[in-house]
């Protein structure tokens, strides 16, 4: 009889990667939307820099640590203010460092309330909203993900559930995913999300 292996939480590097990709994608979408609103450009040209992967991945990983320490101590709005202040500090610090090598990809000098062209008060509300979304959707769901070494990537989710005795995908099988260890929703790609 095979013993059930408890799926492992994602490593810090795996979470950093997901946060980096999330930040990179959001940067492209935000700059595309900004270009449309300001210049009515229907091409929606979103831009970013490869540096954004490191900047967002590390920033959000640190926000994750803040979330884990603050979630029972202060309300969500106060946490988002703290995250926003951290984001400004991180943006200023990384921008200042990159500027030393002529590699800073942003310049807010054209904004009225900028500081050294590296940060601007006009982005306070977007950063606050982004902080809220990052905590409520990205961090909380990423922390729920688990890696299941026992899952076979080549098998479809329904086949995996049938092999586990769950009958997922068949009538009476309970729906879209099979059930693995301790009520975890298993998926054929080796990652599971805690229910």
The pLDDT confidence band at residue 147, using thresholds 50, 70 and 90, is confident
The residue among 4 and 189 whose pLDDT is bigger is: 4
Residue 3 forms part of a structural domain: no
pLDDT at 23: 95
pLDDT of residue 194: 59
Same domain, 27 and 90: yes
50 shares a domain with 88: yes
Whether 129 and 191 share a structural domain? no
Domain boundary among 108, 124, 145: 145
Smallest Cα–Cα separation from 128: which of 83, 89, 93, 90?
83
Residue 2 falls inside a structural domain: no
According to the model, what pLDDT value does residue 172 have? 43
Question: Cα separation of 83 and 64, whole Å?
Answer: 10
- pLDDT-based confidence at 159, cuts 50/70/90? low
pLDDT of residue 36: 94
- In this predicted structure, the answer to whether residue 71 has a pLDDT above a threshold of 90 is yes
Our count of domains for the chain comes to 2
pLDDT value at residue 7: 85
What's the pLDDT score for residue 130?
96
Q: Match 């921008």 to its residue by tokens.
A: 95
pLDDT at 185: 53
Segment 76-87 mean pLDDT: 98
Q: Which domain holds residue 108?
A: 8-145
Which one has a higher pLDDT value, 47 or 1?
A: 47
> Distance between CA atoms of 6 and 76, rounded to whole angstroms?
31
Claim to verify: residue 97 and residue 158 sit in the same structural domain: no
Residue 58 and residue 137 in one domain:
yes
Per-residue pLDDT tens over the stretch 180-190: 445 555 454 45
Q: Is 125 among the domain residues?
A: yes
pLDDT reading at 155 higher than 90 = no
How many residues comprise the chain? 195
- d(CA 96, CA 117) in angstroms, rounded, equals 10
Give the pLDDT score at 12.
95
171-177: long-range pairs with CB below 8 Å, 24+: none
CA–CA dist 111, 125 (Å, integer) = 15
Please give the Cα distance from 19 to 58 (Å, whole number): 8
- The DSSP result for 60-124, as a single string, is HHHHHHHHHHHTTTS-HHHHHHHHHHHHHHHHHHHHHHHHTTT------TTSTTEETTTEEGGGH
pLDDT of residue 176: 43
Q: Is 171 exposed, middle or buried (0-12, 13-18, 19+ CB in 10 A)?
A: exposed
**Do 188 and 118 share a structural domain?**
no
């Amino acid at each position: 009889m095979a013993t059930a292996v408890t799926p492992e939480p994602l490593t810090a590097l795996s979470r950093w990667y997901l946060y980096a990709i999330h930040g990179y994608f959001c940067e492209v979408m935000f700059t595309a939307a900004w270009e449309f609103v300001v210049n009515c450009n229907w091409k929606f040209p979103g831009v970013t820099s490869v540096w954004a992967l490191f900047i967002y991945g590390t920033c959000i990983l640190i926000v994750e640590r803040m979330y884990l320490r603050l979630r029972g101590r202060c309300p969500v709005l106060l946490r988002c203010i703290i995250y926003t202040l951290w984001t400004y500090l991180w943006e200023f610090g990384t921008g200042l460092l990159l500027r030393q090598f002529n590699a800073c990809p942003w310049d807010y000098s054209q904004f009225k309330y900028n500081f050294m062209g590296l940060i601007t008060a006009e982005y306070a509300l977007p950063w606050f909203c982004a902080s809220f979304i990052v905590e409520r959707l990205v961090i909380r769901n990423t922390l729920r993900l688990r890696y299941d070494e026992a899952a076979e990537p080549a098998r479809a989710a329904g086949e995996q559930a049938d092999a586990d005795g769950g009958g997922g995908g068949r009538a009476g099988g309970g729906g879209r995913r099979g059930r693995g260890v301790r009520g975890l929703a298993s998926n054929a790609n080796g990652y599971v999300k805690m229910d």
